Structure 1
C-alpha cells in the first residue's frame, strides 16, 4: 500500500464519510440476511452525528481516506456498547477491525467514573468473520435474540 493506517477519534467532520463507508460495508450483511432495511443501511446522518455526540467514535485513515470506523458508548451501569465496527472491503483481513476494538476498549477502560465494567457488542448469527474476530478478542456469547425469520442477533461480552 505504501501508506500506514492511522487511528484517531472521529469528529463531526467525519460523519458523512463514516456514513458512506457504513453503507458500503453493510451491503455484505444485507446480502447474507436478504434484508436491506437493517439499521446501518437506513441510519440518517443526523442519527450518526448524535451517536458521535452521545458516545465516542474512532476512525482509521489511509492517507486522508477513512477506511474503518467503530463507535462506543458507556452506559450508567458500566457497560460499553460497541457498535458499527466497519472496515472497507478492500482492507478487510488486515487487522484493522482488531486494532479498532483495541482502541475503543482502551479509551473506555481509561475513563473516569463510572468505570467500564464490561464491553458488549452484537452481530448476526451468520456473520462468521465477525464472530471469529470477536471471539479471538476474548468476547463470549451471552445472549441471542431472534429479530425475524432470517436474523438472530448474537450478543457477545467480555470483562473490562
Structure 2
C-alpha cells in the first residue's frame, strides 16, 4: 500500500511541472509617477482700508511744462486727470480734476484735510488757491502722496513729487 502514496506524490510532482512559470512584473516605466501637489487656497483680498495712506496709487506720472502765464503740472497716464496751473496775472494756482462735475474738491495730505469750493468748467471741477496757501505746501511735502476727492468719482491718490511745488514756486515769484 505504500505504492499508492508514492504514486500520488509522483502525480503531484508531475502536475506541479505543468504550472506555467510566473516571471517578475515588468519594470516600471522610466517616467516618474506624478504626485499630486497641494496648492493652498487663495487668500482673499483685504478689505479696503479706511486710512487713505493705504489706498492704491492712481496710475500715472507728473509732467511739468513752463507756460507764458506760469507753470503747469499734469498727472495721468495719457490725458491728464489732475492739473495744477499757475496763473501769475490772476495771482492764483488752479487745481483741476478732469472729467468731474463737482462743486467741491477734498484734498487730503499727511498734515490735514481741506474741502475746497470748485467751479464746474469745460475740463472738469476747478478750485482756485492763492499761491501762499499752506495747503499747496502740504500737497508738495505730504508723505509720499496726497488725495484729491470729488463726489461721484473715484479718489485720486497721487504722488507728492517736485512738479507740484514747482508750479507753486512759479506763482510765488
Provide TM-score, normalisation by structure 1: 0.24
Provide TM-score, normalisation by structure 2: 0.23
| Higher relative helix content | 1
Q: Between Structure 1 and Structure 2, whose CA radius of gyration is higher?
A: 2
